[in-house]
Amino acid sequence: MSNCGTRNSIIHGWTSPRLTRSLAGDGSGKACGIFREKSAVIPAFRRSESARAGDLVEAVTYSDDDDDENQGLEFPGGRVTFTPQMKFIAESTDNRVPCYRVLDNNGCPIPGSTFDQVDKETAVKMYRKMVTLQIMDTIFYEAQRQGRLSFYLTSTGEEAINIATAAALTPDDILFTQYREPGILLWRGFTLEEFANQCFGTKDGHGKGRQMPIHYGSKEHNFFTVSSPIATQLPQAAGAAYSLKMANKEACVVAFTGDGGTSEGDFHAGLNFAAVMEAPVMFICRNNGWAISTPISDQFRSDGVVVKGQAYGIRSIRVDGNDTLAVYSAVRAAREMVITEQKPMLVEFLTYRVGHHSTSDDSTKYRSSNEIEQWKTGRSPISRFRKWVERNGWWSDEEETELRKDARKQVLNAIQVADKTEKPSLEDLFTDVYDSPPSNLVEQEKSLRETIKRHHQDFPSDVPI
Amino acid sequence: MLKNLRRAVGAIPFMRNPALASRSYSVSVKQMMVREALNSALDEEMSADPTVFLMGEEVGEYQGAYKAGFTGLGVGAAYYGLKPVIEFMTFNFAMQGVDHIINSAAKTNYMSSGNINVPIVFRGPNGPAAGVGAQHSQCYASWYGAIPGLKVVSPYSSEDARGLLKAAIRDPDPVVFLENELLYGESFPVSKQVLDSDFTIPIGKAKIEKEGNDVSIVSFSRMVGFSLKAAEILAKDGIDAEVINLRSIRPLDRSTVNASVRKTNRLVTVEEGFPQHGVGAEICASVVSDSFGYLDAPVERIAGADVPMPYAANLEIIALPQVDDIVRAAKRACYRSVPLSATR
């Protein structure tokens, strides 16, 4: 096999939290977008010389005590105590892991619940954004049905997860989402125009028309571009968190996945590596019951996703994803732990995917309309939170009507404008493949432009040259 | 077989190459193994830039075999400002993390409209070794070479190894660095210029290892050595071959290859990988498209046999290009009659 051993090389080992805290670094905590400053000093920690082949490593001393050895033994990985009883760990417990909830179905705080108090300004902002997200989803979905968009994917039923999570984080926290989390961008200030421009692939969009709809990305909002392959963002989030850890910032990485994503190999790799590297990343699983047409019963046989945390040595919690206050409090607490303890956390939100998987799906083919309706009207996170906000005297019917009317108008306007906006120009076909354009692409662009000049009438009129 | 190769490589007169002789920087030329060349390049780049770090299977502190995991990890770290050098024990194992290489590393700069660049290097042995069987012997040059957004290089000599690895680490784009296990122990002369810590070789430029007039032999990595040996044998028969070391698979140095063919009018491509859709196929297409009128003979492609690599040593030899195959192909391109069985 490969014998390319390294001598005198400087290799980053995985540090313990103790070491990390003693390092100097740019702790200013100021926002610097997705890219750290290239010139930032990376603390040199644990430079190690790798052992030459054949050198003995420090031997582990084992206890010679006979009595001791009958009680337990230090195997690789730690000491275990012995038992003469042959006992299997049951594949499931009688009681499932309980689910943290603050507000009941009527939006009343459950007596004895612990949660972070939310002030009027934050609560109203959260509610407004949840409604806006819902309206944005409805209208964009319709636009696709009308043929104005090629594709769309809604977050219907998961507005609380989207908005309350975003509210609980800071702008410095870095997002690696799946695709059902645009509410986070909405909270952070991404405008309806920007959403529309990405979906319509216009020249004003950040994406330069490179990606299919809903694959948003924003450097200034610390939101990594949505990537289609499922769960690939999980080990990437761990890697980014590793890099963040070295930067010693008071921020964390947050990575989303659905219930389906937990069946991917990358889920295992991402969580396992994050645990071993003690990377400051919060893994959030939106367990919404369906992975396209695959129900939970076909997805895994464990007690959901929360129990998988312990398998990796990761602290975890199960939360009612349709309870805005529970989501907010849990994310705030988890974030605190991730940052101070510099280790990963796993949060499982139980919720329901009210909409179809995407515009390419008709979920009535594999689930009953009754089930959908029950969750849509009977257990809407928006209605539940609205009741709490209204009960506090912070919201009224008039404001509701006005909000819905305004949001609808703004979304429709954004779509109309984007639909008419110019598409990206020809040069955007060739840029960004590499950092600087290679000679073959330069030649191809030149050749293409010459062809267009000669056969102008054959070239599509809606592509600006 | 290896001993013969070493002897053959040692016999190739590098410094007698007129192109190189004019550039001798010091009287005593140091010999350096490819392994040492790679290690020294890594060491120097890591010392110069603290954001460069290594990760991989059995790298440094005996990390484990978690290729899908650390490939994704490396991509994520590159997204957020570090410069990872990800090592695969062989590129066969990289297949388990290939989604991260292709769908994330290669395409992200484009898909994010230039906001997220991925300055990552994926390196490791590529192609056959010796007696490691089908799942450890595939050459991935043509697979990765097809992907826009990736740069793909494959060094031959120690000079190549040092210069290309430094260039790859410094490059803001993702680079796939295809080494060869059997070359690790080969020694090559290196000039003082090559030993300089800022020595880099431009990615996308081929090197003419030996100039000639009668036939162009184009290859990369270990096959460059075989091609040089074949050129020696052909010289005895009065055929003056030009040997080109591609150094880069993507971008492919089409202009050097085409200029050569326009001079010699005959082309032989050599690679260890499978023949269909191989590197030789792309070179052939480029030459036919750009220099058709200059070809005096059909292009000869030498490649590995179209079978999963067998394990038995005798079968392995037959499954891979040998020097004799290159000699025969060159003679065919020169319309010399060639007996079916190999003769020296």
Output the pLDDT for position A59: 54
Which residue in chain A has the smallest CA separation from B128?
A1
Q: DSSP assignment of A363-400, as one string? A: GGGTS-HHHHHHHHHHS-HHHHHHHHHHHTT---HHHH
Q: What percent of chain A has pLDDT over 90?
A: 76
Q: DSSP assignment of A59-123, as one string? A: PPPPP--HHHHHHEEEETTEEEE--SS--PPPSS-SSPPP-B-SB-TTSPBPTT-------HHHH
pLDDT at B45 over 50: yes
Please give the mean pLDDT across all residues of chain A: 87
Q: How far is A5 from chain B (nearest CA, A)?
A: 8
Output the pLDDT for position A31: 34
Output the pLDDT for position A21: 34
Put simply, the answer to whether A224 touches B79 (Cβ < 8 Å) is: yes
Question: Any residues with CB less than 8 A from the CB of A295 and at least 6 apart, and which?
Answer: A289, A367
Rounded Cα gap, residues A41 and B52, in angstroms:
12
Put simply, the answer to whether A2 touches B51 (Cβ < 8 Å) is: no
pLDDT at A409 over 60: yes
Phi then psi for residue A345, to 5 deg, are -130, 155
Which of these, A465, A11, A4, A36, lies nearest to A249 by C-alpha position? Answer: A36
B98 touches chain A (CB under 8 A): no
Which of these, B124, B145, B112, lies nearest to B70 by C-alpha position? Answer: B124
For A47-64, how does the pLDDT look when each residue is reduced to its tens digit (9 = 90+)?
A: 344 445 445 555 555 555
* Lookup: tokens for A357: 């998987």
Instruction: Give the pLDDT band of residue B321 (cuts 50, 70, 90).
Output: very high
Q: What percent of chain A has pLDDT over 70?
A: 85
Which of these, B253, B140, B141, B278, lies nearest to B201 by C-alpha position? Answer: B253
Taking residues A8-35, what's their average pLDDT? 36
For B4-18, how does the pLDDT look when each residue is reduced to its tens digit (9 = 90+)?
A: 333 333 333 333 344
Q: Which residue has the higher pLDDT, B33 or A423?
A: B33
Helix (H, G, I), strand (E, B) or coil at B206: coil
Q: Which one of A236, A244, A428 has the shortest CB-CB distance to B72?
A: A236
Q: DSSP assignment of A16-45, as one string? A: PHHHHHTS---TT-----SSPPTTPPPP--
Put simply, the answer to whether B77 touches A11 (Cβ < 8 Å) is: no
pLDDT at A87 over 90: yes
Output the pLDDT for position B339: 54
pLDDT at B44 over 90: yes
Output the pLDDT for position A132: 98
pLDDT at A364 over 50: yes
pLDDT at A300 over 90: yes
Q: What percent of chain B has pLDDT over 90?
A: 74
Q: How far is A247 from chain B (nearest CA, A)?
A: 10
- The answer to whether B15 touches B189, Cβ cutoff 8 Å, is yes
Q: What stretch of H or E contains A285?
A: strand A281-287
Residue A43: alpha-carbon gap to chain centroid: 28
For A202-227, how does the pLDDT look when each residue is reduced to its tens digit (9 = 90+)?
A: 998 778 888 899 999 999 999 999 99
Output the pLDDT for position A417: 96
Which residue in chain A has the smallest CA separation from B132?
A1
End-to-end, the C-alpha distance of chain B in Å comes to 16
Taking residues A140-149, what's their average pLDDT? 96
User: Which residue shows structure tokens 């659905």?
Assistant: A258
pLDDT at B114 over 70: yes
For A246-282, how does the pLDDT look when each residue is reduced to its tens digit (9 = 90+)?
A: 888 899 999 999 999 999 999 999 999 999 999 999 9
Q: DSSP assignment of B160-185, as one string? A: HHHHHHHHHHH-SS-EEEEE-GGGTT
Taking residues A66-93, what's their average pLDDT? 87
Instruction: Give the pLDDT band of residue A463 (cuts 50, 70, 90).
Output: confident
Active-site residue list of A: 142, 228, 357-358
Taking residues B74-98, what's their average pLDDT? 90
How does strand A294-295 pair with strand A290-291?
antiparallel
Taking residues A292-305, what's their average pLDDT? 96
Question: Any residues with CB less than 8 A from the CB of A190 and at least 6 apart, and which?
Answer: A182, A216, A218, A221, A223
Taking residues B97-123, what's their average pLDDT? 93
pLDDT at A234 over 80: yes
pLDDT at A119 over 70: yes
User: Which residue shows structure tokens 């930032």?
Assistant: A40
Put simply, the answer to whether B113 touches A208 (Cβ < 8 Å) is: yes
For the ranges A22-31, A327-336, A437-446, the lowest mean pLDDT is seen at A22-31
pLDDT at A325 over 50: yes
Output the pLDDT for position A6: 39
**Residue A290 burial (10 A CB sphere; 0-12, 13-18, 19+):** buried
Put simply, the answer to whether A239 touches B151 (Cβ < 8 Å) is: no
Rounded Cα gap, residues B153 and B150, in angstroms:
10
Asked if omega into B251 is within 30° of 0 (cis), the reply is yes
Which residue in chain A has the smallest CA separation from B78?
A240
* Lookup: tokens for B96: 């388990």
Q: How many Cα neighbours within 13 Å face the side chain of B314?
A: 0
Say how many CB pairs under 8 Å bridge A and B: 196
Instruction: Give the pLDDT band of residue B337 (cuts 50, 70, 90).
Output: low
Output the pLDDT for position B139: 95
Q: How far is B196 from chain A (nearest CA, A)?
A: 18
**Pseudo-torsion of CA B285, B287, B292, B296, nearest 10°?**
-110
Instruction: Give the pLDDT band of residue A462 (cuts 50, 70, 90).
Output: confident
Instruction: Give the pLDDT band of residue B64 (cuts 50, 70, 90).
Output: low
Question: Any residues with CB less than 8 A from the CB of A164 and at least 6 apart, and which?
Answer: A126, A324, A325, A327, A328, A331
For A88-114, how does the pLDDT look when each residue is reduced to its tens digit (9 = 90+)?
A: 999 998 999 999 999 999 999 999 999
